[in-house]
Amino acid sequence: MFVHIEREKKLRVFENRVLRRIFGPKRDDVSGERRKLHNKELTVLYSSPNTVWIIKSIRMRWAEYVAPMRERRVLYRVLAWQPEGKRPLGRTRRRWGIILR
């Protein structure tokens, strides 16, 4: 349901990389050299909530919308479906037909 911890970390790293590119390097007060912005400096400059929190809140709103539905509704079955067995090696197959029946 939620973004996995590894994906959360990758998403935060990507977000910080984009913000560093937008705000550019900072001139150090002591040495006068240019350096990358630290994560805390980025949060001060960009005070919007982080992307992971936004994604989780959107998914929770969707789950609240789908949860009261009955089992015969497709959206409910997609939300409640649990995969069985192991995934095959190689490219994954499209298996939406199993859920939608």
Q: Report pTM.
A: 0.54
Q: Pick out the chain residues at pLDDT < 50.
A: 1-2
pLDDT at 44: 84
Number of separate domains in the chain:
1
- What are the structure tokens assigned to 54, written together? 């936004």
The confidence score (pLDDT) of residue 62 equals 85
Could you tell me the residue range of the domain that residue 29 belongs to? 5-100
What is the per-residue pLDDT for 1?
Answer: 44
**Nearest C-alpha neighbor of 55 from the set 94, 92, 95, 7:** 7
* Whole-number Å distance between alpha carbons of 77 and 68: 12
Residue 52 phi/psi, 5° resolution? Answer: -60, -45
Cα–Cα distance between 81 and 97 in angstroms, integer? 12
